[in-house]
Amino acid sequence: MYVVILAGGAGTRFWPLSRKKHPKQLMSVFGGKSMLQRTVERVLPLHPKRILIITNTVQAKETAEQLEYLKHVPIDIIEEPVGRNTAPAIGLAAAIIARHDPDAIMAVLPADHYIVNEEEFRATILRAKGAALNGYLITLGITPDRPETGYGYIEAEMALRGDGPYPVTRFVEKPFFEKALEFLTAGNFFWNSGMFVWQVPVILNGIKAHMPELHGSLMKLDFSADVWELADLKPQIAAIYGEIKGESIDYGVMEKAKNVEVIPADFGWSDVGSWRALPEVIAPDGAGNVLIDAGEAVNIDSRGCLAYGGGKLVALVGVENLIIVNTGDALMVCAEERAQEVKKVVEELERKGLQEYL
Amino acid sequence: MYVVILAGGAGTRFWPLSRKKHPKQLMSVFGGKSMLQRTVERVLPLHPKRILIITNTVQAKETAEQLEYLKHVPIDIIEEPVGRNTAPAIGLAAAIIARHDPDAIMAVLPADHYIVNEEEFRATILRAKGAALNGYLITLGITPDRPETGYGYIEAEMALRGDGPYPVTRFVEKPFFEKALEFLTAGNFFWNSGMFVWQVPVILNGIKAHMPELHGSLMKLDFSADVWELADLKPQIAAIYGEIKGESIDYGVMEKAKNVEVIPADFGWSDVGSWRALPEVIAPDGAGNVLIDAGEAVNIDSRGCLAYGGGKLVALVGVENLIIVNTGDALMVCAEERAQEVKKVVEELERKGLQEYL
């Protein structure tokens, strides 16, 4: 099995801790190792033949540095010259793997997701691999435990709950609360995790059928299958990315293909989509506060706050539901329910030309 | 005229910017010069014979350093070994001045008050001086412009509004809102500013009459009137402070004496009693925010916040009525209406033995 890790996130939603050159996947969100490092380490017990990291030019250097300690592992870093969403990244990885190992199995994993139970995660990947060998495009569907409106859903055709795989009826965009509650109650809906397992020729056929232009571009890649020397591919990748349109693999292939199945996944998962998601994955203290790198914190009657102290003593007095992030050059205080608007700060900094803060 | 500046504040209410060794009066609350420096500079056009700064052992060093640039001005720094409230500090200064200049006029000014119109302030002091020459204890009463519950009030016996002086009927503790509104409407109530002007023998007689123990202690001081070499007085001051009880000059003398008069003061004033008072004295921006030392601030829909950035870019997202203070070693976020509770943080740090943050 080959593992493809999508690691080209923009780094705006965790500003000011995340930056263009230091996006969420390269951050030590939980202290210790970065999310990318955790993602790579998580698959090592599966002994993948190779791990391909798809990143971009700006982040490639830190990505390589972060993985240097794993130099005994066959890891390849592929730089996209520009971000074009997930379909081109996945297609590029599939084309490269196909050239070396035409019938390989390939798992696609985002670099910046949080997973609680790593054993169960690997067991799920292995079940997905078994199902993929039957020629299906397998997507991992997280069993929902709440009527979450922040995720897309996958509807499955299933008589009884089990390990799956189940045929996928449809993909559903982020729902309103009532719909989400309906999905939760129905029992045959899963959160769309963006994690996939398939055979390389099966996904390439899917791209050929549903995204023929992308397939045509990928087929122009001309390189030797003898060595994994992907740096030589850079000019060719740059050339085809000039003509490739941006599209997600969900919209481009998964929602259109007929051979899509879902494997239920119950390993405890979050896409950690914004600061607001952190208290889901880091246990809050008795007052519902999450204090990270906050020295000798002092709390006078404050609740539901997330504070990154940047090593400073943090004192909270009578405040509630705030996200407080202190870094070397910036300090952000944000109402918890408005965590999605952090990207507006980044947009404003861009407008003002304050590159040093991006 | 001699000017006595009371500069021994504890430095808890402006934590984390104020510290034991760096209390409010030594802070650059408004950027630029400290409140003490502003207080001293404010009286220079009055050409005081000497300026006596009463401070304490912990703050003496920084107090001296801050005033070094004024070395052409006759300034004496007197260290109290322990804080004993205002009556002993004022009595000590009066006793020292009396030994050199028995009939001197003495103005008493807190080091940490904010004054808008400095010309008008000096004119008021001069009016008070004239009244003091008639043997009265003159207190400056700020004409209230709102039903403030955070200040004590002085009731005056006055037929018509004018420059005064007016006999004082009584001193009133911080009132509830209804009382404060009543005082505002009545027109003969003033905020108790803690600024006084009197002849040295008159205040010493007041202390003798109403605080005989304090007077007895002060009379033990034995020193030459030939030179202002107050460092030699240190052991004697330490000895009498061992027996002196703490008391305010208001409670100890002013509320009991019969020869108290008030001079109306209309120079724009705040005692800057907590972080919450700052937006009164620093003009907020259009959204009601006061951002100090906050670099390229970014505001997404936030209102009524006070932020000291400590030189960092400050970003506020959807927050209201917060006090945010970032210093080299500490970060505080406090609900505006709970600014008084900042001292609880200091108490907790004391309990935890975290001296470095005090």
The predicted-structure confidence for B289-315, as pLDDT tens digits, reads as follows: 999 888 889 999 999 999 999 889 999
Q: Please provide the average confidence, as pLDDT, over all residues in chain A.
A: 93
User: Tens digit of pLDDT for each residue in A122-149?
Assistant: 999 999 999 999 999 999 999 999 999 8
Q: Distance between CA atoms of B147 and B130, rounded to whole angstroms?
A: 30
Binary contact (A316, B334; C-beta < 8 A): yes
Q: Please provide the average confidence, as pLDDT, over all residues in chain B.
A: 93
Instruction: Find all residues with CB under 8 Å of A246, minimum gap 6, and list them.
Output: A83, A84, A85, A88
Average pLDDT estimate for A93-104: 95
Average pLDDT estimate for B70-82: 94
pLDDT confidence of A320, banded at 50, 70, 90?
very high
Binary contact (B333, A324; C-beta < 8 A): yes
> What's the confidence (pLDDT) of residue A230?
83
Q: Which residues of B touch A15 (CB under 8 A)?
A: 315
| Residues B339 and B274: beta-carbon distance below 8 Å | yes
**Residue whose C-alpha is closest to residue B47's, from B21, B72, B22:** B72
Record the tokens describing residue B171, joined without a space: 């001193």
Q: How many angstroms away from the CA of A152 is the closest CA of chain B?
A: 26
Q: Distance between CA atoms of B164 and A160, rounded to whole angstroms?
A: 91
Strand blocks (E) in chain A: 2-6, 51-56, 75-80, 105-110, 114-115, 137-142, 153-156, 166-172, 189-199, 260-265, 269-270, 290-292, 298-300, 306-308, 313-317, 322-326, 330-335
A180 — alpha (psi -120 to 50), left (phi > 0) or beta?
A: alpha
- For residue A223, pLDDT over 90 is answered with no
- For residue B10, pLDDT over 80 is answered with no
Tell me if chain A has a CB within 8 Å of the CB of B298: yes
Q: What are the residues facing A316 on neighbouring strands? A: A299, B333
Q: Distance between CA atoms of A217 and A208, rounded to whole angstroms?
A: 11
Q: Distance between CA atoms of A315 and B176, rounded to whole angstroms?
A: 30
Average pLDDT estimate for B147-157: 93
**Residue whose C-alpha is closest to residue B35's, from B59, B58, B1:** B59
Q: Which of A106-115, B22-31, B79-88, B228-237 has the lowest mean pLDDT?
A: B22-31
Strand blocks (E) in A51-127: 51-56, 75-80, 105-110, 114-115
Measured in whole angstroms, how far is the alpha carbon of residue A32 from the centre of its chain? 19
In chain B, the residue whose alpha carbon lies closest to the alpha carbon of A16 is B315
Tell me if chain A has a CB within 8 Å of the CB of B186: no
Q: How far is CA A265 from CA A51, A163, A269, A289, B11, in A?
A: 22, 8, 9, 29, 56
- For residue A10, pLDDT over 80 is answered with no
User: Tens digit of pLDDT for each residue in A270-308?
Assistant: 988 888 888 777 889 999 999 988 888 999 999 999 999
> What's the confidence (pLDDT) of residue A281?
77
User: Tens digit of pLDDT for each residue in B160-184?
Assistant: 777 889 999 999 999 999 999 999 9
> What's the confidence (pLDDT) of residue A312?
92
pLDDT confidence of B66, banded at 50, 70, 90?
very high
- For residue A203, pLDDT over 80 is answered with yes
> What's the confidence (pLDDT) of residue A104?
97
Average pLDDT estimate for A72-76: 95
Q: Which of A123-127, A220-224, B222-226 has the lowest mean pLDDT?
A: B222-226
Domain with CATH 3.90.550.10 in chain B: 2-273
High-pLDDT (> 90) share of chain B, %: 77
> What's the confidence (pLDDT) of residue A172?
95
Tell me if chain A has a CB within 8 Å of the CB of B297: no
| Residues B136 and B259: beta-carbon distance below 8 Å | yes
Tell me if chain A has a CB within 8 Å of the CB of B168: no
User: Tens digit of pLDDT for each residue in B230-286?
Assistant: 888 999 999 999 999 999 999 999 999 999 999 999 999 998 888 888 877 788 999
CA atoms within 13 Å, Cβ hemisphere of B95: 26
Tell me if chain A has a CB within 8 Å of the CB of B296: yes
- B2-273 is a CATH 3.40.190.10 domain: no
What was the ipTM of the complex prediction? Answer: 0.80
> What's the confidence (pLDDT) of residue A20?
86
Measured in whole angstroms, how far is the alpha carbon of residue B104 from the centre of its chain? 22
Q: Distance between CA atoms of B74 and B162, rounded to whole angstroms?
A: 35
CA atoms within 13 Å, Cβ hemisphere of B265: 33
Tell me if chain A has a CB within 8 Å of the CB of B313: yes
pLDDT confidence of B22, banded at 50, 70, 90?
confident
- For residue B205, pLDDT over 80 is answered with yes
In terms of DSSP H, where are the helices of chain B? 35-43, 57-67, 86-100, 118-132, 177-186, 200-210, 212-219, 234-241, 249, 278-281, 342-351
Long-range contacts of B47-50 (CB under 8 A, 24+ apart): B48/B1, B48/B2, B48/B3, B48/B107, B49/B1, B49/B2, B49/B74, B49/B101, B49/B104, B50/B2, B50/B3, B50/B74, B50/B75, B50/B76, B50/B97, B50/B228
Q: φ, ψ for residue A87 (rounded to 5)?
A: -60, -50
Q: Distance between CA atoms of B21 and B322, rounded to whole angstroms?
A: 26
> What's the confidence (pLDDT) of residue A131?
96
> What's the confidence (pLDDT) of residue A310?
87
> What's the confidence (pLDDT) of residue B51?
98
Instruction: Find all residues with CB under 8 Å of B298, minimum gap 6, and list them.
Output: A345, A348, A349, B313, B314, B315, B316
- For residue A160, pLDDT over 90 is answered with no
User: Tens digit of pLDDT for each residue in A29-68?
Assistant: 777 899 999 999 999 999 999 999 999 998 999 999 999 9
pLDDT confidence of A164, banded at 50, 70, 90?
confident
